Amino acid sequence: MGYIYREAADGCHVVAMPYPGRGHINPMMELCKSLVRRKDDIRITFVVTEEWLSLIGSDPKPDQISFSTIPNVVPSELVRASNMLEFIEALMTNMEAPFERFLDHLVQPPAVIIADTFLLWAVRVGNRKNIPVASFWPMSVNVFLMFHYLDLLRENGQFIVDLLGLERGHERADYIPGVSSTSLVDFPSFINGSNPYMLGRIVEVFSWVPKAQYLLFPSIYELEPQAIDAIKAGFSFPVYTVGPSIPYSKLEDGSHTITAHGDVDYLRWLDDQPSKSILYISMGSFLSFSSAQMDEIAGGLHDSGVRYLWVARGETSRLKEVCGDKGLVVPWCDQLRVLCHPSVGGFWTHCGWNSVREGVFAGVPFLTYPISADQRPNSKLIVEDWKVGWRVEKEYRVENLVRREEIGGLVRDFMDLDSNEGKEMRRRVKGFQEICQQAISKDGSSETNIKSFIREISIGEFLSLCGWNSVQQGIYSDSMTLEISLCPLHHLLRGGIVVIYASQITYSFLLQAWEFTAKDPCLVSDMDAVTVKPTYSCHVVAIPYPGRGHVNPLMNFCTILASKKPDTLITFVVTEEWLGFISSSSNSSPSNLQFRSIPNVIPSELVRNADPIGFIEAAMTKMETPFEELLDSFHQPLRPTLIVTDAFLFWAIGVGNRRNIPVASFFPMSSTVFSVFYHLDLLAQHGHFPVDLSEKGNEIVDYIPGVSPLRLLDLPSFIFASNQYTLHRILDLISWIPKARYLLLPSIYELESQVIKALKYKISIPVYTIGPAIPDLKLRDNSSSSSNNNELNILQWLDCQPESSVLYVTLGSHVAVSSAQMDEIAAGLCDSGVRFLWVVRDETSRLRQVCGDMGLVEPWCDQLKVLCHSSVGGFWTHCGWNSVKEGIFAGVPFLTFPIFADQLTHSKVIVEDWKIGWRMKKEVVAKTLVAREEIAGLVQKFMDLERAEVKEMRRRSRELQQVCEHAIAEGGTSEIDINAFIRDISQ
C-alpha cells in the first residue's frame, strides 16, 4: 500500500466579507470572534473597505482576526443615506472585482468564505474558485422566509398591494411556511412595490442562496423554531443558527468602553438611578424621523415623568434643551452594556435585528417603533409572537405624527412596574433571556451549531493535507482527470470509507475508495479501479422563454423525453429567479433531468408587467451571452448533443449553429397561430396589413394554408398592435426557424391536421407534434398537488358537488382584466346560481367577499386535476394554449374570454372549428365591459346539462378527449412523433 505524505497546513483560514454597514459588520465580527474563541488555530481575514477600516480598525479583537481592505469603490458612509439606491448598486457591481483580486493574492487559500447574503457576488466568486461559501443572513429568520416565499404572496393575490392607502394593509398572510399569521403592513417595506429596484435586487439575492454551501443565521433556534425548521426542510445544505452574535463576551471579561471626550459619563449616571426605572431609547444608526416627530417624542418623554437615556445621533444638542433634566440625551453609548444595566427597565427601539437580540439578551421589554425594511416584521415578532413588547404606533400611518400626549401616556404605562400587564411582559422577557443564556452555554443550541460549523469548515485543513486546496479541483492521474467534490470529504469527517466518483473522457467512471486515518500526516490509500458502462449517450440542453406559459410545456416535454430515454441527460436552463420558482416542484423529476441557471439578466417576474416591452427586449438581448457561457462549461462526456429552445429565444439557434450543436425550436402556442405568423406576408399581399380593425375587423382571412377562414379580429393581437416591437420580434423568430434542425409543436396532429399538413409541406426541416405537453403523467401515477396549508381543500370541496355542476373559472397567470370587469364577473356568477371555482391571483380576498358562498375563490389550484374532476362541467378560460390543451384533455366545454395575443385565435378555433365552446366576449373591444346580466344568462345556459346544444357540445368535447388519449397511447400520433424525434437525436 502506497502513501502520500502532506505537511499540515497552518490552521484553518477563513475569509469574512461583510456588507459595509454597521448593522451587518457588527454581527459578522461577533461570529468571527466566536469561531476563534472555540478553535485557536482558525485564522480569519476580515475584509472591509478602506473607509470602514478607519472606522473599526482600532476596535479590540483577538489576534487570530486580521483586517484586509479593498478600495473605496462604494459611496462614503457619510453620504450613503442621501442616495441608498446608488450605494446598493455600487455594492452589487463594484466590490466583486477587488474582492476577487484580494483572494487571488492570498498565500493560503481560505477553507471557507463567510459572506453577507446581500453580497451575492461572493457566492459567485467562491463557486468560480471552488471555495465553499457560508451565506450569513443578518436579519431574522422570519424575514428570510418572507423574502424566500415572495411567490406565495403573488399566488395569494397579496403582492404589491396598496399599503399607502391602507386599503388592504390589515389583510393577513397565513401561508408562509414557518411564519405565523402576519398583517401585510408587517411585512418588510420593500414588498409593497414602492421601490421596484430594491425588490428586484432582493429577488436576485435569494436566487443565489441555494448556490452557497452553508447558511448562517445570527439568531437562536428557540427564538424562531418553526421558521428555522421550515428553512432546514427547504434547503439541502447545512443551516446553522449561530446567534445571538452580539458582544456579550466583553460583559463577561469586564472590559469597559469609555465614552468620547466631553460626553457625560452615562454609566455613572445609570449607577445613580433606581432599579428598572430607565427607559433606554435608540432609533438605530440612521435616523429616519422628521424633526417634528423628534419634538413630539421629546415632549412625550418630558410629560411622562419617566427617567430615560436617549441616544440621538443627529440632533443631540437641540434635544437636550427640549427634554429637560429628567434624562440624558447622548450621541452614542455602549448599547449592550446599557441594556444590561440594572437601572434599565425598558427599550424603545426601531427594531433593527441586532438591537432586538441585544434587548432579548438583556431581558428588557420593548416599545417598538419600526421605521422601514425588516423592522416592521421584527416589531410584530416582539409584540404578537413573543409578547414581550408594545407598539408605540398602534396603526400604520403615512406622514402622520405620533403625538406627545399619546407618547407620554404610553411611556408611563409601559414603565409602571406594578401593572399586571407590565409584570407579565417582564416575566416573559426574562424567560427569553434565559433561552439566550442556555443557547450559548455548553451543549446549548447555538454553541452546538457553532462547533458543528467549525467541524465542517475544517474540511479546508483536510484538503490542504491531501494536496487539494479547493473544494472541486481537477487532479491528473494516469492520464485521467478526477473530479473531487466536497460531498465525500464532508462525510469523511463523520468517519468511514468514502467513495469518490470521477469521470474521464472515454465515458467510463473510475471508482476509487480512499482510506483515511485520524492522525496527521494524512494517509491516502489508492484502491482498485473499476470501469462501468457509459451513463449517458446523449445530452440535451433545454432553455424556455422565462414565463409560466412557456416554462411549463417545455418542462413537461422534457420530463416525457427523460422518462422515455433514461440514457439521455437533460439539462433544463432557467434564470436564477425561475430556478427558485420551479425547484420546489422538481423533486419528482426523473433522475436524468437536472436544472442549471443563468444570472437574472432580465427584469424580475414579479414586476415584468410594468414594462412588457422592456422584458421582451431583455429576453432577446441579454440571455444569449450567459447561456453561451453555460454551454461552454460542459466538457466531454457531457458536451451537449442537442439544444431544445423556445422559438421566441431564436438567438439560441445561432448559439447552437456556431458550435455545430443541432437545435430543436419549440413553439409554445398552437400550430394555427404558428402558421399565421409564418404566413404574415400573405396579409400584406391581400391588403390586410396594416388595417384599422374598427373598420375592417370582420373581414375574412381565407388564404393562410391549412387555416380555416377567420376574421381579422381573430388574429393574434400583436399583428395590429400600435406598438410594432413585438411583431418585429415575431418576424425575427420566423426567419430563424429554417436554421433550426427540428420544429416541435406541443399540439396533437388530429386537432390541427390541416394546418400541420400544410406546415410540413412548406417547411424543409422535420416537424413533430409532441403534444399535449401537459402534466398528464401526474394524474396517471396518482400523485397529488395540494394548495397551500391554510387554504380550503379544493379537491375535497369538489368531491361534495354534483357531477358536472361546477364551472371552473380562471383568466391565466397574468390577469389583464380591470377591477370593474372582475366585479361584473363576480356579480354575474352569483346571479347565475351556478356553482363555481374561481382562481384569481390578485384580488382573492376582495372577490371572496363579493361572491358569497355559492362558490370558491382561490389564488391557485392544480388546474389539470381540477378540470379532470367529475364535478367540473365547464371551463371559463382566457384561452392560453396550455389551458386549452388541458381543457381538451379533461373533456370539458369552454366559455372563452380571450384577452390578447394568441388567445383570440384559440378562442375562434374552440368555438368555430372544434365547436366545443361559446364566446363570453362576443367582440374583443377595448374598455367594453361584459355586463353581469349577460354573464349570468350565458353561464346559466352553458351549465344547463339538459339543453340540446349543450349536450352536443359536451359530446364533441368528449370526442376530442378521446383524440388526446389515442394520440399519447401506444401507436398514437404524438407517441410516434416523440419516438421518431428520439431516434433522430440519438443518431
C-alpha–C-alpha distance, residues 213 and 217, integer Å? 14
Does any domain span residue 644? no
Does any domain span residue 656? no
Residue 549, phi then psi, degrees to nearest 5: -70, -10
Grid coordinates given for 688: 390586410
pLDDT at residue 516, as a whole number: 34
pLDDT at residue 236, as a whole number: 83
Of all residues in the chain, the percent with pLDDT exceeding 70 is 83
pLDDT at residue 44, as a whole number: 95
Query: Domain boundary at 488, 509, 526, which?
Result: 526
C-alpha–C-alpha distance, residues 138 and 117, integer Å? 8
Count of residues for the chain? 987
> Tens digit of pLDDT for each residue in 850-906?
787 778 888 888 899 999 999 999 999 999 999 999 999 999 999 999 988 899 999
100 and 183 together in one domain:
yes
**Residue closest to 787 by CA, chosen among 862, 841, 869:** 862
- What is the Cβ-side half-sphere exposure of residue 259, based on CA atoms within 13 angstroms? 17
368 and 502 together in one domain:
no
> Tens digit of pLDDT for each residue in 968-978?
999 999 999 99
Grid coordinates given for 967: 394520440
C-alpha–C-alpha distance, residues 764 and 711, integer Å? 29
Does any domain span residue 719? no
C-alpha–C-alpha distance, residues 352 and 355, integer Å? 5
**CB-CB contact of 246 with 358 (8 Å):** yes
951 and 847 together in one domain:
yes
pLDDT at 330 over 70: yes
Grid coordinates given for 853: 358562498
**CB-CB contact of 984 with 742 (8 Å):** yes
265 and 125 together in one domain:
no
User: Strand 172-173 vs strand 182-183: parallel, antiparallel, or unpaired?
Assistant: antiparallel
> Tens digit of pLDDT for each residue in 10-34?
578 999 999 999 899 999 999 999 9
515 and 379 together in one domain:
no
Rounded to 5 degrees, what angle do the CA atoms 772, 773, 779 make? 90
287 and 218 together in one domain:
no
Does any domain span residue 871? yes
C-alpha–C-alpha distance, residues 132 and 126, integer Å? 6
377 and 321 together in one domain:
yes
50 and 182 together in one domain:
yes
963 and 916 together in one domain:
yes
Q: Which residue has the higher pLDDT, 462 or 366?
A: 366
CATH number, residue 224: 3.40.50.2000
Alpha helices in 212-290 (DSSP H): 225-234, 249-252, 266-271
pLDDT at residue 623, as a whole number: 95
Q: What is the identity of the amino acid at 497? A: I
**CB-CB contact of 770 with 744 (8 Å):** yes
Does any domain span residue 196? yes
Q: Which residue has the higher pLDDT, 153 or 309?
A: 309
Report the chain's mean pLDDT, rounded to a whole number: 83
> Tens digit of pLDDT for each residue in 740-755?
999 999 999 999 999 9
pLDDT at 433 over 90: yes
> Tens digit of pLDDT for each residue in 668-698?
999 999 999 999 889 889 888 888 887 888 9
Taking the alpha carbons at both ends of the chain, their separation in whole angstroms is 45
Q: How far does CA 702 lie from the centroid of its chain?
A: 46
Helix, coil or strand: residue 565? coil
Position of cell 439544444?
A: 643
Sequence-ordered list of residues with C-beta below 8 angstroms from that of 19, at least 6 positions apart, any chain:
25, 91, 116, 118, 119, 138
Of all residues in the chain, the percent with pLDDT exceeding 90 is 56
pLDDT at 387 over 90: yes
pLDDT at residue 532, as a whole number: 37
Position of cell 424567560?
A: 431
Position of cell 378560460?
A: 877
Alpha helices in 708-834 (DSSP H): 725-736, 753-762, 776-780, 794-799, 819-832
> Tens digit of pLDDT for each residue in 485-519?
333 343 344 333 333 333 332 222 222 333 333 33
Give the pLDDT mean for 398-404: 76
Give the pLDDT mean for 429-452: 93
Worst-scoring range by mean pLDDT, 157-171, 233-247, 468-482, 619-633?
468-482
pLDDT at 628 over 70: yes
pLDDT at residue 165, as a whole number: 47
Helix, coil or strand: residue 119? coil
What burial letters (b/e) apply to 33-45, b meaning 16+ CB within 10 Å?
bbbbeebeebbbb
pLDDT at residue 227, as a whole number: 95
pLDDT at residue 132, as a whole number: 95
Worst-scoring range by mean pLDDT, 223-232, 373-382, 530-539, 781-790?
781-790
C-alpha–C-alpha distance, residues 449 and 79, integer Å? 38
**Residue closest to 776 by CA, chosen among 710, 707, 863:** 863
Residue 216, phi then psi, degrees to nearest 5: -115, 135
C-alpha–C-alpha distance, residues 608 and 614, integer Å? 8
pLDDT at residue 468, as a whole number: 44
**CB-CB contact of 148 with 230 (8 Å):** no
pLDDT at residue 16, as a whole number: 97
- 400 sits in the region (left: phi over 0; alpha: psi -120 to 50; else beta) called beta
Position of cell 416589531?
A: 379
Give, for 851, the enclosing helix (H) or strand (E).
Answer: helix 844-851
pLDDT at 607 over 90: no
Helix, coil or strand: residue 448? helix
Does any domain span residue 366? yes
C-alpha–C-alpha distance, residues 207 and 707, integer Å? 43
Does any domain span residue 85? yes
pLDDT at residue 377, as a whole number: 95
> Tens digit of pLDDT for each residue in 636-662?
778 899 999 999 999 999 999 999 999
C-alpha–C-alpha distance, residues 911 and 88, integer Å? 53
- 335 sits in the region (left: phi over 0; alpha: psi -120 to 50; else beta) called alpha
> Tens digit of pLDDT for each residue in 157-192?
777 655 554 567 778 888 999 999 998 889 987 776
**Residue closest to 471 by CA, chosen among 455, 454, 490, 453:** 490
Sequence-ordered list of residues with C-beta below 8 angstroms from that of 614, at least 6 positions apart, any chain:
603
pLDDT at 465 over 50: no
pLDDT at residue 585, as a whole number: 59
Q: Which residue has the higher pLDDT, 484 or 757?
A: 757
Grid coordinates given for 494: 463523520
Grid coordinates given for 160: 404589491
3-class SS shares of the chain: helix, strand, coil, % to 5: 45, 15, 40
Query: How many CB atoms sit inside 10 A of residue 908's CB?
Result: 23
> Tens digit of pLDDT for each residue in 704-720?
999 999 999 999 887 87
Helix, coil or strand: residue 711? strand
Does any domain span residue 177? yes
C-alpha–C-alpha distance, residues 811 and 822, integer Å? 10
Q: Which residue has the higher pLDDT, 253 or 844?
A: 844
**Residue closest to 655 by CA, chosen among 621, 622, 631:** 631
Read off the pLDDT band of 322 (50, 70, 90): low
DSSP conformation letters of 523-560:
--EE----B---S-SEEEEEE--SSHHHHHHHHHHHHH
Highest-confidence segment of 82-86, 314-318, 325-329, 364-368 = 364-368
pLDDT at residue 134, as a whole number: 97
Read off the pLDDT band of 818 (50, 70, 90): confident
Domain range spanning residue 121?
Answer: 12-241
pLDDT at residue 97, as a whole number: 94
pLDDT at residue 497, as a whole number: 33
345 and 413 together in one domain:
yes
Query: Domain boundary at 434, 464, 484, which?
Result: 434
Grid coordinates given for 930: 361584459
Number of structural domains in the chain: 4
859 and 907 together in one domain:
yes
pLDDT at 477 over 60: no
pTM of the model: 0.63
Give the pLDDT mean for 310-326: 73
Strand ranges across the sheet with 112-116: 65-70, 42-49, 12-17, 112-116, 133-136, 214-217, 239-241
pLDDT at residue 462, as a whole number: 53
274 and 421 together in one domain:
yes
Q: How far does CA 71 lie from the centroid of its chain?
A: 32
pLDDT at residue 395, as a whole number: 66
C-alpha–C-alpha distance, residues 46 and 615, integer Å? 39
Read off the pLDDT band of 234 (50, 70, 90): confident
Position of cell 403582492?
A: 159
C-alpha–C-alpha distance, residues 875 and 894, integer Å? 5
C-alpha–C-alpha distance, residues 826 and 817, integer Å? 13
**Residue closest to 121 by CA, chosen among 143, 98, 140:** 98
pLDDT at residue 292, as a whole number: 82
Secondary structure, 3-state, 387-417? CCEEECCCCCCCCCCCCHHHHHHHHHHHCCC
Give, for 767, the enclosing helix (H) or strand (E).
Answer: strand 767-769
pLDDT at 62 over 60: yes
Highest-confidence segment of 289-298, 570-579, 817-826 = 570-579
Q: What is the DSSP letter of 911?
A: I
Q: What is the identity of the amino acid at 153? A: L
Read off the pLDDT band of 151 (50, 70, 90): confident
**Residue closest to 639 by CA, chosen among 663, 659, 624:** 659
pLDDT at residue 841, as a whole number: 76
> Tens digit of pLDDT for each residue in 94-145?
999 999 999 998 888 899 999 999 999 999 999 999 999 999 999 999 999 9
Give, for 457, the enclosing helix (H) or strand (E).
Answer: helix 445-457
C-alpha–C-alpha distance, residues 375 and 396, integer Å? 13
Query: Domain boundary at 210, 241, 272, which?
Result: 241
C-alpha–C-alpha distance, residues 238 and 52, integer Å? 31
Give the pLDDT mean for 452-469: 64
**CB-CB contact of 363 with 432 (8 Å):** yes
Give the pLDDT mean for 306-331: 78
